[in-house]
Structure 1
Amino acid sequence: MSDRLLKVAEVAERLGVTERFVRRLIAERRIEYVKAGTHVRIKEEALTAYIDESTVVPIRMGLHGNGLVA
Protein backbone atom coordinates (compact mmCIF):
# COMPACT_ATOMS: atom_id res chain seq x y z
CA MET A 1 0.00 0.00 0.00
CA SER A 2 1.35 3.44 -0.94
CA ASP A 3 1.07 6.60 1.12
CA ARG A 4 1.77 8.76 -1.93
CA LEU A 5 -0.31 11.94 -2.13
CA LEU A 6 -1.46 12.96 -5.60
CA LYS A 7 -2.17 16.45 -6.87
CA VAL A 8 -5.56 17.21 -8.41
CA ALA A 9 -3.92 17.35 -11.85
CA GLU A 10 -2.40 13.89 -11.37
CA VAL A 11 -5.75 12.42 -10.32
CA ALA A 12 -7.46 14.03 -13.32
CA GLU A 13 -4.85 12.57 -15.66
CA ARG A 14 -5.21 9.07 -14.19
CA LEU A 15 -9.00 9.19 -14.48
CA GLY A 16 -8.94 10.80 -17.92
CA VAL A 17 -11.10 13.70 -16.76
CA THR A 18 -10.67 17.43 -16.16
CA GLU A 19 -9.31 18.97 -12.98
CA ARG A 20 -12.71 20.62 -12.58
CA PHE A 21 -14.37 17.20 -12.35
CA VAL A 22 -11.91 16.09 -9.63
CA ARG A 23 -12.52 19.33 -7.71
CA ARG A 24 -16.26 18.66 -7.92
CA LEU A 25 -15.72 15.15 -6.50
CA ILE A 26 -13.85 16.79 -3.63
CA ALA A 27 -16.49 19.51 -3.07
CA GLU A 28 -19.27 16.90 -3.05
CA ARG A 29 -17.17 14.71 -0.70
CA ARG A 30 -17.38 11.81 -3.14
CA ILE A 31 -13.65 11.10 -2.81
CA GLU A 32 -11.48 11.11 0.30
CA TYR A 33 -8.86 13.86 0.35
CA VAL A 34 -6.19 15.46 2.53
CA LYS A 35 -6.14 19.20 3.14
CA ALA A 36 -2.70 20.61 3.97
CA GLY A 37 -3.14 24.35 4.40
CA THR A 38 -4.46 25.56 1.05
CA HIS A 39 -3.29 22.43 -0.77
CA VAL A 40 -5.57 19.50 -1.54
CA ARG A 41 -4.10 16.06 -2.11
CA ILE A 42 -5.61 12.64 -2.68
CA LYS A 43 -4.01 9.46 -1.38
CA GLU A 44 -3.35 6.81 -4.03
CA GLU A 45 -5.37 4.30 -2.01
CA ALA A 46 -8.31 6.76 -1.87
CA LEU A 47 -8.20 7.02 -5.67
CA THR A 48 -8.12 3.23 -5.96
CA ALA A 49 -11.08 2.97 -3.56
CA TYR A 50 -13.04 5.56 -5.59
CA ILE A 51 -12.38 3.62 -8.80
CA ASP A 52 -13.40 0.33 -7.15
CA GLU A 53 -16.61 1.84 -5.75
CA SER A 54 -17.47 3.41 -9.12
CA THR A 55 -16.89 0.25 -11.16
CA VAL A 56 -20.06 -1.22 -12.62
CA VAL A 57 -20.00 -4.97 -13.24
CA PRO A 58 -21.73 -6.01 -16.48
CA ILE A 59 -24.84 -8.14 -16.37
CA ARG A 60 -24.35 -11.50 -18.01
CA MET A 61 -27.10 -12.28 -20.45
CA GLY A 62 -28.05 -15.85 -21.19
CA LEU A 63 -30.67 -17.70 -23.15
CA HIS A 64 -33.63 -18.99 -21.19
CA GLY A 65 -36.56 -20.41 -23.04
CA ASN A 66 -37.60 -18.04 -25.81
CA GLY A 67 -35.77 -14.90 -24.68
CA LEU A 68 -32.77 -13.41 -22.98
CA VAL A 69 -32.60 -13.10 -19.22
CA ALA A 70 -30.19 -11.39 -16.91
Structure 2
Amino acid sequence: MCENNKLEIAVKIFKIREKLGWTRSKLAQEANVLESTVVEIESGNNINIETLSKLATAMGKKVTINIE
Protein backbone atom coordinates (compact mmCIF):
# COMPACT_ATOMS: atom_id res chain seq x y z
CA MET A 1 0.00 0.00 0.00
CA CYS A 2 1.45 3.37 -0.94
CA GLU A 3 2.18 5.97 1.72
CA ASN A 4 -0.47 8.40 0.41
CA ASN A 5 -3.19 5.76 0.82
CA LYS A 6 -2.00 4.92 4.33
CA LEU A 7 -2.07 8.57 5.33
CA GLU A 8 -5.52 9.05 3.82
CA ILE A 9 -6.87 6.07 5.79
CA ALA A 10 -5.20 7.27 8.99
CA VAL A 11 -6.72 10.74 8.64
CA LYS A 12 -10.19 9.34 7.92
CA ILE A 13 -10.15 7.10 10.98
CA PHE A 14 -8.91 9.98 13.14
CA LYS A 15 -11.55 12.43 11.84
CA ILE A 16 -14.43 9.99 12.29
CA ARG A 17 -13.27 9.14 15.81
CA GLU A 18 -12.92 12.82 16.72
CA LYS A 19 -16.36 13.62 15.24
CA LEU A 20 -17.85 10.95 17.50
CA GLY A 21 -16.06 12.51 20.47
CA TRP A 22 -14.30 9.23 21.18
CA THR A 23 -10.86 8.74 22.62
CA ARG A 24 -8.52 6.17 21.13
CA SER A 25 -9.24 4.04 24.16
CA LYS A 26 -13.00 4.21 23.55
CA LEU A 27 -12.59 3.23 19.89
CA ALA A 28 -10.32 0.35 20.84
CA GLN A 29 -12.84 -0.87 23.39
CA GLU A 30 -15.77 -0.63 20.96
CA ALA A 31 -13.81 -2.37 18.18
CA ASN A 32 -12.34 -5.01 20.51
CA VAL A 33 -8.75 -4.16 19.60
CA LEU A 34 -5.82 -2.84 21.60
CA GLU A 35 -5.45 0.92 21.99
CA SER A 36 -1.96 0.56 20.52
CA THR A 37 -3.60 -0.81 17.37
CA VAL A 38 -5.66 2.37 17.02
CA VAL A 39 -2.50 4.45 17.56
CA GLU A 40 -0.68 2.47 14.86
CA ILE A 41 -3.48 2.85 12.33
CA GLU A 42 -3.92 6.56 13.03
CA SER A 43 -0.18 6.86 12.42
CA GLY A 44 -0.51 5.11 9.06
CA ASN A 45 1.19 1.90 10.21
CA ASN A 46 0.12 -1.76 10.28
CA ILE A 47 -3.06 -1.10 8.34
CA ASN A 48 -4.98 -4.25 7.38
CA ILE A 49 -8.50 -4.83 6.13
CA GLU A 50 -9.66 -6.91 9.10
CA THR A 51 -8.71 -4.27 11.66
CA LEU A 52 -10.04 -1.43 9.52
CA SER A 53 -13.33 -3.28 9.27
CA LYS A 54 -13.52 -3.65 13.06
CA LEU A 55 -12.83 0.04 13.59
CA ALA A 56 -15.26 1.14 10.89
CA THR A 57 -18.04 -1.10 12.19
CA ALA A 58 -17.54 0.16 15.73
CA MET A 59 -17.95 3.72 14.42
CA GLY A 60 -21.02 2.88 12.34
CA LYS A 61 -19.13 2.96 9.04
CA LYS A 62 -18.03 0.40 6.47
CA VAL A 63 -14.87 -0.28 4.51
CA THR A 64 -15.09 -0.33 0.72
CA ILE A 65 -12.30 -1.14 -1.69
CA ASN A 66 -12.00 0.09 -5.26
CA ILE A 67 -9.50 -1.50 -7.58
CA GLU A 68 -8.91 0.56 -10.69
- Of Structure 1 and Structure 2, which has the larger fraction of its residues in helix? 2
Query: Please, what TM-score do these two structures have when normalized by structure 2?
Result: 0.41
Query: Please, what TM-score do these two structures have when normalized by structure 1?
Result: 0.40
Higher relative contact order (CA 8 A, sep 6+): 2
- Of Structure 1 and Structure 2, which has the larger fraction of its residues in strand? 1
